[in-house]
Amino acid sequence: MYRSLILCIVVTFLSCNQVQYGEKNEIGHSYYFNSISGDNSNLGTKEKPLKSLDYIEKISLKEGDKILLANGSTFTNTINLIDKNGVEVSNYMTDKNTKIPIINSEGKIAAVFVENSSNITINNIEITANGGGPNKSFHNKIKTDLRTGILYLVTDNEIYNNLYVSDLKIRDIFFENPGYIRSEKEVRTPNGTKSYGWGIRVVNLSDVGNLVNVKIKNSSFINISHTAIRFKGIRENQFNNIEILNNIVLRSGGPGMVFNSTKNLYANGNDINYSGSFDDTRKWGRGSGLWTWGSSFAVISNNKFQNANGPADSAGCHIDFNCNDIIVENNLSKNNAGGFIEILGNNYNCAYRNNVSINDGHRVKGKNGAFQEGKTFWLSGYIGRGKERNGPFNSYIYGNKVYVGKDIIPKIAVDKAARGVFVANNIFYFENDPVMVLGDQYKPDVGGGSQIKNVFFENNIFKKNHWPKEVLIQPINNIYHPGAVKVDDIIEGLNFFEKEIEINYLETDSKGLWQGF
């Protein structure tokens, strides 16, 4: 009896003296951090915030909890959300300071690292990580070390729901320190083999686990070593329901965005410029504005893809192999080295429709280190090195307005393995005669006679009858007009752009050539 009484008193005493950090919110608790006025001896309330992010490890986060960072603050270290559900990372105002908080995760795996967690929200934060080299604590399931703004991993066999990211500024993300010079051979590998910096990287490392329902919107990605947004999953178990809305990507060293093994993707209103940049020797130096691989059911619309660079790939938006039902529509594609239309093998029911392309495909193989031709129009059967080419199947290309200026020779490639091609109601306005080239993805197609079935190539407008006779699909019943194309005609159908901006684009690129029909 006495022992029970003593135990009861001890338990009561401990529970009464247990410290509660943070402030109660509508669901859980809010924990406040301020790198300027905070102190780690505080309880993490708004009036008495904590100082450093490493103190999060001492808090048992639960569903409904919020990690709130003070505007004007700069933090180091990583916010780890491992096996957590329903946690939000955001900012809060201090003394009318409107500058969002910064997490500098130099030398860390990520500013925010999420693993096997649902209902995670991250917003209103700036992230930077300009070097630092190898991570001190490298995740044992990742084959190559890396640096990321946000890293999400699925490592078990559960299904996780809802990752919501908005209003972030992610900039200057590099693995190596300034001054590092990457080998020139690295850019010739398919995606790079060394360590890089990434903006947001979502990776499925499980057998049957997955992440579904992801939204990334209203964020900027500036000066990233490799790719700004990259999903890497399992073809048989695709990430499901992905929305990528109104983001800006500027000067990424690799592609702007990559969607590997996604299903039901909607990418709308994004502005991707200078992907494949090589203005820093730590960058990869090659990349399309956006590309899909092993993905199903995507609508990629109302985006801008401009100035993609690189010795290979580097289209505005291309459909890599093993995809189905990918629609690229109502986009502006401008001055991309690799080209405009690019559909690789094992692709089914894919379309480029109602886009505007201006001076895409200007790269010349053998010039400035380029090992692949730039192409205005490319249907490729490539499905991987050493594999027999296959497809693409049922490719739809209609309603596009394609202009290639006097300084570029348009290049066309159509693989003999293609089946089902619909090309109609496009404007192909080429200042120079286009030429046929062999499709080349690391190794050129050997060419050969036409085996293409089910081709409809009619009702298009050309400047003149100069489509290359060697190309395996040939236009019929077309309109030929020697005049130039109206500026208003190009702008029509692009109501998602401000008209004044688009006129400036066209006048700058055309140099007076757009004179009207």
Grouping H, G, I as helix, E, B as strand and the rest as coil, residue 16 is helix
Higher pLDDT, 77 or 344: 344
Cis ω before 434 (30° cut-off from 0): no
Over range 215-239, report the average pLDDT: 97
Residue 145 has pLDDT above 60, yes or no: yes
State the average pLDDT over residues 444-458: 84
What is the per-residue pLDDT for 374?
97
Q: What is the pLDDT of residue 485?
A: 54
Would you say residue 195 has pLDDT above 80? yes
Closest CA to 284 of 228, 335, 227, 338: 227
Q: Supply the Cα-derived Rg of the chain in whole angstroms.
A: 26
The mean pLDDT value for 449-477 works out to: 92
Tokens of 228: 């700004």
Residue 128 in 3-state DSSP? Answer: strand
Q: Is the pLDDT of residue 509 over 50?
A: no
For residues 315 and 334, what is the distance between their CA atoms, to the nearest angstrom? 9
Residue 440 confidence (pLDDT) above 50: yes
Task: Give the Cα separation of 297 and 324 in Å (integer).
Answer: 6
Average pLDDT value for residue range 48-71: 95
Nearest CA-CA partner of 151 in 160, 163, 133: 163
The DSSP bridge pattern shows strands 262-268 and 427-430 to be: unpaired
Q: How far apart are the first and last CA of the chain?
A: 101
CB 22 within 8 A of CB 67: no
The whole-number pLDDT of residue 506 equals 33
Could you tell me which of 508, 412, 427 has the C-alpha nearest to residue 469?
412
Percent of the chain with pLDDT over 90: 80
Give the range among 51-60, 217-226, 462-471, 506-515 with minimum mean pLDDT: 506-515
Confidence of residue 481 (pLDDT cuts 50, 70, 90): confident
**457, 467 in Cβ contact below 8 A?**
no
Measured in residues, the chain has a length of: 517
Q: How far apart are CA 404 and CA 220, in angstroms?
A: 30
Q: Is the pLDDT of residue 442 over 90?
A: no
Average pLDDT, the chain: 89
pLDDT exceeding 70 applies to what percent of the chain?
89
The predicted-structure confidence for 243-296, as pLDDT tens digits, reads as follows 999 999 999 999 999 999 999 999 999 999 999 999 999 999 999 999 999 999
Res. 141 pLDDT band, cuts 50 70 90: confident
Six token digits for residue 474: 């040939």
* Four-CA torsion 259, 260, 263, 266, nearest 10 degrees: 0
Using pLDDT thresholds of 50, 70 and 90, give the confidence band for residue 507: very low
Residue 315: closest CA among 279, 344, 348, 283:
344
d(CA 286, CA 315): 10
At a CB cut-off of 8 Å and minimum separation 6, what does 136 contact? 107, 108
Residue 479, token pair as written in the block: 């309109």
pLDDT score of 298 more than 50:
yes
Over range 498-505, report the average pLDDT. Answer: 34
Q: Which of 94-108, 227-241, 252-266 has the lowest mean pLDDT?
A: 94-108
493 vs 241, residue with greater confidence: 241
Can you give the pLDDT at residue 510? 28
The arithmetic mean of pLDDT across residues 206-224, rounded, is 97
Q: Structural domain boundaries of the chain?
A: 20-91
The residue type at 430: F
CB of 230 within 8 A of CB of 258? yes
Sequence-distant (6+) residues with CB within 8 A of 418 are 379, 381, 391, 392, 393, 395, 452, 472
Tell me what the mean pLDDT of segment 339-356 comes to. 97
Q: Which residues of 261-355 form beta strands (DSSP E)?
A: 262-268, 271-273, 290-293, 296-301, 304-306, 317-319, 324-329, 332-334, 339-343, 348-353
Angle at 489 between CA 504 and CA 288, to 5 degrees: 60
Report the C-alpha gap between 352 and 343 in whole angstroms. Answer: 9
Q: For 371-418, write each residue's pLDDT tens digit.
A: 999 999 999 999 998 899 999 999 999 999 999 999 999 999 999 999
Per-residue pLDDT band for 218 (boundaries 50, 70, 90) equals: very high
Q: Indicate the helix (H) or strand (E) that contains 42.
A: none
Does the domain formed by 20-91 have CATH 3.30.1910?
Answer: yes
**What is the average per-residue pLDDT within 55-79?**
95
Examine the pLDDT at 154 and tell me if it is beyond 60.
yes
For residue 419, pLDDT beyond 70: yes
CB 500, CB 487: distance < 8 Å:
no
Least confident of 5-14, 182-191, 285-294, 478-487: 5-14
